[in-house]
Amino acid sequence: MVEKRILGLDFGSKTVGVAVSDPLGMTAQGVEIIRRQKENQLRKTLARIGELILQYQVQTIVLGFPKNMNGTKGERAEKTIAFKESLERRFSLPVILWDERLTTVMADKIMMESDIRREHRKEYVDEIAAMLILQGYLDKNGMDQDGKDCI
């Protein structure tokens, strides 16, 4: 069996939450949060993602796609599409958009249930959201095996 790792990303205005699958593609583990000072300064962010791709021998990227609750695409979704295109150009890997609605709410709920203090939650929310995005993809892909965007 060929082991393939999948990188999960939660792309925000100043952070990118990062998760990676286990080698069998069954579970998602949080890795880190990449932080930047300004929204448009992506050079170091992309460089760090490249390091993680090499470190984990990533073959696919799953990128959270922030649709509005009514299914429409807003400004954040457009920026995510542009980031997807940057990732594809730079790394020549497939980048799958994955519906991330409510992942931040779920991440916050997980932290509350884990007794993480409110003032510390923002330190972890993006990483946990990346884990939820990736785990959702892994769970669905395990059943469908089609690897299609779920946007």
Question: Residue 143: is its pLDDT beyond 50?
Answer: no
Residue 149 lies in a domain: no
Question: Domain count of the chain?
Answer: 1
Q: Cα torsion at 10, 131, 7, 51 (round to 10°)?
A: 80
The SS3 assignment for 99 reads strand
* The model scores a pTM over 0.75: yes
Residue 150 lies in a domain: no
- Average pLDDT over all residues of the chain: 84
Residue 151 lies in a domain: no
pLDDT at 116: 62
Decide: 9 and 130 in contact? Cβ < 8 Å. yes
Residue 40 lies in a domain: yes
The CATH number assigned to the domain holding 131 equals 3.30.420.140
Residue 85 lies in a domain: yes
pLDDT tens digits along 52-78: 999 999 999 999 998 877 777 888 889
Residues 6+ apart with CB under 8 A from 78: none
pLDDT at 27: 94
Residue 121 lies in a domain: yes
Other CB atoms within 10 Å distance of the CB of residue 34: 23
Strand 5-11 versus strand 58-65 pairing type: parallel
Strand partners, 20: 7, 29
pLDDT at 100: 82
The CA distance from 9 to 115, in Å, is 25
* Closest listed residue to residue 11, CA positions, set 148, 103, 141: 103
Residue 140 lies in a domain: yes
Domain interval for residue 130: 5-144
Residue 74 lies in a domain: yes
% pLDDT > 70, the chain: 75
Distances in whole angstroms, Cα of residue 97 to Cα of each of 17, 62, 86, 88, 115: 15, 6, 13, 12, 31
Q: Mean pLDDT across the stretch 107-126? A: 65
